[in-house]
Amino acid sequence: MDGVDLWYFKLEKTSEMSDHDQAFFHLRALLSNYYPKISPENWAFEVGSHGKPTLTSSQTWPSIKFNYSHSNDQLVIALTKNLEIGVDIEWRIRHCSPLIIAADHFSKKEYDFIQTSNEGQRDQIFFDLWTLKEAFAKAKGLGLSIPFNKFSFELKSRKRDEITVYFEDGLTEHPSHWQFTLHDNLPNYQIAVAVEKFTDKSVNIREFVQSTIFCRPGS
């Protein structure tokens, strides 16, 4: 695996398995697809203090990092090697008030950006910013414990090289150590990825739909 592999799965809402259990069903199968010598049931996980799941540190695993997110009936799993990774997916077909949420959780610069945008673009900009923030917080393993108004995104466009992050004092991060991307492969869903980078070279991201190599939960 060179870079990030981004996998999309459809959750079975009629399944007796919860969304969480289905996510780990697919995650186990996916990890064993990369490392066939380890059967799906033998992967072991632990959860950080803010809820980020990782492979257990007490055993020798491949140097793989992962993160997942689900919304409505869609699941996305991101995998990479040796790099911290975070992913977020949000279903855009739901009622929300971008300006109200932004006033409570976003930086002033981001709030002003949404407020001065055309009304028809506000939802898109809001979900772009929200998923980017979620993806970064998940990559850091901090979840919602990191104040979303302490770091800001500037979107010159939605292209990878035109998404810039700014950190306020107190967050010991450097913008050049992170790469952010937005993805629109699923209609009515917004996906963002945050991944560490240690060189000026961009991290390559490959995207896959659910493959027939995976069984459906419960089959």
14/79 Cα distance (integer angstroms): 27
Q: What is the pLDDT of residue 214?
A: 54
Domains recognised in the chain with CATH numbers: 4-208 (3.90.470.20)
Sequential DSSP letters for 62-110: -SEEEEEEEETTEEEEEEEESS-EEEEEEESSS---HHHHHHHHS-HHH
Q: Are 74 and 89 in contact (CB under 8 A)?
A: yes
CA distances from 80 to 9, 97, 112 (A): 18, 34, 35
40/56 Cα distance (integer angstroms): 14
Tens of pLDDT, residues 44-99: 999 988 889 999 987 778 889 999 999 999 999 999 999 999 999 999 987 788 99
Question: Residue 128 carries which DSSP code?
Answer: H
Query: pTM for the complete prediction?
Result: 0.90
> Tokens for 2?
């060179």
Q: What is the pLDDT of residue 83?
A: 92
Task: For the beta carbon of residue 125, count every other beta carbon within 10 angstroms.
Answer: 18
Residues of the chain with pLDDT under 70: 170, 210-219
Backbone angles phi, psi at 25, to 5 degrees: -60, -50
Q: Are 137 and 153 in contact (CB under 8 A)?
A: no
**β-strand pairing of 53-55 with 45-47:** antiparallel
- Tokens 């996980």 map to which residue? 45
| Proportion of the chain in helix, strand, coil states, percent, rounded to 5 | 30, 30, 40
List of residues 6+ apart from 39 with CB closer than 8 A:
32
Q: Are 36 and 9 in contact (CB under 8 A)?
A: no
57/148 Cα distance (integer angstroms): 29
> Tokens for 129?
């910013």
